[in-house]
């Protein structure tokens, strides 16, 4: 879910008029600076495929990265077995609501690494702040020109992110691949490495199906795969995304979670 938040942030930021000479190290920082104060809301379908089952949810997500704490509310819209399930994060606190038993579970910090709703995202992904420039050093690994979903002769960048000393992050290395065309930049792939010297990524996220979302050209499909579980994935397909949305009052409260 962090990744969802990151991608929202990335989407929110990267599509803003990009500076022509894309200084890669400042790109991440500009991304961070830009998504502070940004709000977003979206509806997406999430499909979880594991070795033993496959299931889909329709999900609505409200996010507010401004203010003192990051806030997010996720509600499951369907199917029946999960409709009304809610996840509320305010800063580091995470609550899960179950309408069947009308019970709110306060998730302790020891459980943050566990799977969220049976997907390949952890509870922690939802909670953890994702201010990349704050926690990671960025350097340009590769730059090339090719055709992309944004248009012919786009510029691709592979940015290497390594955590700053004592940064409270789970990854030792992240490789981001971004594509720039005209005034637009979108991510195409992110590889997450648990160890610095690891040859293959622990987790990979790919972005595809560029469409009109929230008034921009954005990838509408995100797919996460985990190296330790071949054949499994979690895929998110955006139906609707609105950036800078006006958040209804009381959206990030327990009342809204249980509504």
Among 20, 21, 68, 101, binds other proteins (CB under 8 A): 101
Question: What six digits make up the tokens of 211?
Answer: 């469409």
CA-CA distance, 258 to 254, in Å (whole number)?
A: 6
Decide whether 111 or 160 has the Cβ nearer to other proteins.
Answer: 111
Please tell me whether residue 47 binds other proteins under the rule CB under 8 A. Answer: no
Please tell me whether residue 50 binds other proteins under the rule CB under 8 A. Answer: yes
User: Which residue pairs, CB below 8 angstroms and at least 24 apart, start in 230-234?
Assistant: 231/49, 231/51, 232/49, 232/50, 232/51, 232/120, 233/49, 233/120, 234/46, 234/47, 234/48, 234/49, 234/119, 234/120, 234/121
Smallest gap, in angstroms, from Cβ of residue 241 to other proteins? 9
Question: What six digits make up the tokens of 86?
Answer: 């809610």
Please tell me whether residue 66 binds other proteins under the rule CB under 8 A. Answer: no
Q: Calculate the alpha carbon distances from 244 to 34, 236, 237 in Å.
A: 11, 21, 20
Please tell me whether residue 211 binds other proteins under the rule CB under 8 A. Answer: no
Please tell me whether residue 229 binds other proteins under the rule CB under 8 A. Answer: no
The stretch among 47-55, 65-73, 160-168, 180-188 that binds other proteins (CB under 8 A) is 47-55
The stretch among 25-33, 73-81, 132-140, 148-156 that binds other proteins (CB under 8 A) is 73-81
- Residues 219 and 14 sit within 8 Å (Cβ to Cβ): no
Query: How much of the chain is helix, strand and coil, in % rounded to 5?
Result: 15, 50, 35
Please tell me whether residue 52 binds other proteins under the rule CB under 8 A. Answer: yes
Decide whether 54 or 183 has the Cβ nearer to other proteins.
Answer: 54
Please tell me whether residue 60 binds other proteins under the rule CB under 8 A. Answer: yes
CA-CA distance, 99 to 83, in Å (whole number)?
A: 8
Among 17, 108, 152, 231, binds other proteins (CB under 8 A): 108
The stretch among 38-46, 152-160, 178-186, 230-238 that binds other proteins (CB under 8 A) is 38-46
Please tell me whether residue 55 binds other proteins under the rule CB under 8 A. Answer: yes
The stretch among 103-111, 151-159, 164-172, 195-203 that binds other proteins (CB under 8 A) is 103-111
Among 24, 38, 43, 141, binds other proteins (CB under 8 A): 43
Among 78, 215, 244, 250, binds other proteins (CB under 8 A): 78
Please tell me whether residue 83 binds other proteins under the rule CB under 8 A. Answer: yes
- Residues 126 and 1 sit within 8 Å (Cβ to Cβ): yes
Angle between the N-to-C axes of helices 2-14 and 24-35, in degrees from 0 to 180, rounded to the nearest 10: 100
Among 58, 216, 217, 258, binds other proteins (CB under 8 A): 58
CA-CA distance, 5 to 21, in Å (whole number)?
A: 27
Q: Which residues pair with 146 in a beta bridge?
A: 154
- Residues 92 and 79 sit within 8 Å (Cβ to Cβ): no
- Interacting residue ranges for other proteins, rule: CB under 8 A: 41-43, 48, 50-55, 58, 60, 75, 77-84, 96, 98-101, 103, 105-108, 110-111, 114, 117-118, 239-240, 242, 245-246, 248
């Amino acid at each position: 879910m962090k990744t969802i938040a990151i991608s929202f942030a990335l989407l929110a930021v990267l599509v803003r008029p990009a500076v022509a000479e894309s200084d890669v190290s400042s790109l991440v920082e500009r991304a961070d600076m830009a998504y502070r104060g940004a709000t977003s809301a979206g509806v997406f379908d999430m499909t979880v495929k594991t070795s033993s089952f496959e299931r889909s949810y329709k999900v609505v997500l409200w996010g507010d990265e401004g203010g003192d704490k990051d806030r997010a509310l996720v509600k499951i819209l369907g199917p029946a077995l999960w409709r009304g399930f809610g996840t509320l994060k305010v800063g580091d606190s995470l609550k899960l609501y179950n309408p069947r038993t009308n019970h709110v579970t306060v998730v302790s910090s020891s459980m943050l690494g566990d799977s969220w709703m049976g997907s390949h995202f952890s509870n922690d992904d939802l909670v953890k702040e994702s201010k990349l420039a704050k926690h990671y050093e960025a350097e340009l690994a590769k730059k090339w020109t090719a055709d992309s979903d944004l248009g012919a002769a786009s510029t691709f960048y592979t940015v290497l992110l390594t955590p700053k000393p004592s940064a409270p992050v789970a990854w030792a290395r992240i490789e981001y691949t971004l594509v720039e065309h005209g005034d637009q930049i979108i991510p195409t792939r992110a590889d997450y490495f648990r160890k610095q010297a690891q040859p293959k990524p622990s987790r990979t996220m790919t972005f595809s199906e560029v469409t009109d979302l929230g008034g921009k050209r954005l990838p509408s499909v995100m797919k996460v795969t985990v190296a330790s579980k071949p054949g499994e994935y979690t895929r998110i397909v955006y139906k609707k995304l609105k950036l800078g949305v006006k958040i209804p009052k009381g959206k990030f409260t327990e009342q809204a979670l249980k509504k």
